[in-house]
């Protein structure tokens, strides 16, 4: 069992893995680089992650899941409608992508594209993460009058569109794809939503 110091080291390793995946991809991130980036003792990685790189990658994906879910929750709290929440969220994401000079993207999409067909563990972690974003968007839409099946379909489309827009924004070195996605999604999510209960 690890104490507070061990927990901090484990968290630093996961944080470093997440940052490096965003910048260099999963395959381009070596364990020695993660340890150096985290400023952790060399033996700490296998002490905290005895199953190796996939276990650390899974933890990084879980960390990304939590952070994006927090952004979603914050956007929903600050917005009167689902469309406004998406606009708020994409503005935040556009700022993050632009501030990184288009070097950072969604680590979950990166891991899915690189490892989804090669690692069941990482594919499942990514699937759980996407579900953790789709579910609250579904609930937000239900709260605003959408029937649950339609809300689920729209939430899935919304998460997929934002993910795709982030990839296109990085490729084009422009936040326009994210802004265009926000406009389209706002119209879609708020159209005929019905009264708020």
The yes-or-no verdict on residue 197 having pLDDT over 50 is no
The mean per-residue pLDDT over the stretch 69-74 comes to: 92
Q: Which of 66, 140, 48, 65 is nearest to 108 (CA)?
A: 65
Each domain of the chain, given as residue ranges in start order, spans 60-190
Under the banding of pLDDT at 50, 70 and 90, the label for residue 41 is: confident
Task: Round the average pLDDT of the chain to a whole number and report it.
Answer: 92
The yes-or-no verdict on residue 32 having pLDDT over 70 is yes
Residues 119-145: pLDDT tens digits? 999 999 999 999 999 999 999 999 999
The mean per-residue pLDDT over the stretch 32-38 comes to: 94
Q: Which pLDDT value is given to residue 43? A: 85
- Percent helix, strand, coil in the chain, to 5, is 75, 0, 25
d(C-alpha 146, C-alpha 131), whole Å: 19
The mean per-residue pLDDT over the stretch 180-193 comes to: 89
Q: Which pLDDT value is given to residue 180? A: 97
Phi, psi of 193 (to 5 degrees): -70, -20
Residues 82-113: pLDDT tens digits? 999 999 999 999 999 999 999 988 999 999 99
Q: Which pLDDT value is given to residue 100? A: 93
The mean per-residue pLDDT over the stretch 158-187 comes to: 96
| The CATH fold of domain 60-190 | Tetracycline Repressor; domain 2 (1.10.357)
Q: Which pLDDT value is given to residue 1? A: 39
Under the banding of pLDDT at 50, 70 and 90, the label for residue 3 is: low
Owner of token pair 């994906």: 61
The yes-or-no verdict on residue 165 having pLDDT over 90 is yes
Q: Which pLDDT value is given to residue 104? A: 86
Q: Which pLDDT value is given to residue 192? A: 62
The yes-or-no verdict on residue 37 having pLDDT over 60 is yes
CB neighbour list of residue 82: distance below 8 Å, 6 or more residues apart: 76, 137, 140, 141, 144, 189, 190, 193
């Amino acid at each position: 069992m690890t104490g507070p110091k061990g927990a901090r080291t484990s968290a630093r390793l996961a944080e470093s893995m997440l940052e490096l995946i965003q910048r260099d991809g999963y395959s381009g991130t070596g364990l020695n680089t993660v340890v150096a980036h985290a400023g952790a003792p060399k033996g700490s990685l296998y002490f905290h992650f005895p199953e190796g790189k996939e276990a650390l990658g899974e933890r990084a994906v879980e960390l990304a899941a939590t952070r994006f879910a927090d952004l979603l929750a914050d956007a929903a709290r600050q917005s009167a409608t689902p469309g406004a929440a998406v606009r708020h969220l994409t503005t935040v994401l556009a700022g993050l992508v632009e501030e990184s000079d288009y070097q950072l993207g969604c680590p979950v999409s990166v891991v899915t594209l690189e490892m989804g067909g090669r690692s069941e563990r990482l594919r499942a972690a990514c699937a759980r993460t996407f579900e953790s974003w789709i579910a609250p968007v579904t609930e937000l839409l239900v709260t605003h009058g959408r029937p649950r099946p339609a809300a689920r379909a729209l939430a899935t489309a919304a998460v997929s569109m934002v993910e795709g827009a982030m990839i296109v924004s990085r490729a084009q070195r422009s936040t326009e794809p994210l802004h265009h996605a926000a406009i389209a999604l706002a119209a879609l999510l708020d159209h005929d939503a019905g009264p708020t209960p």
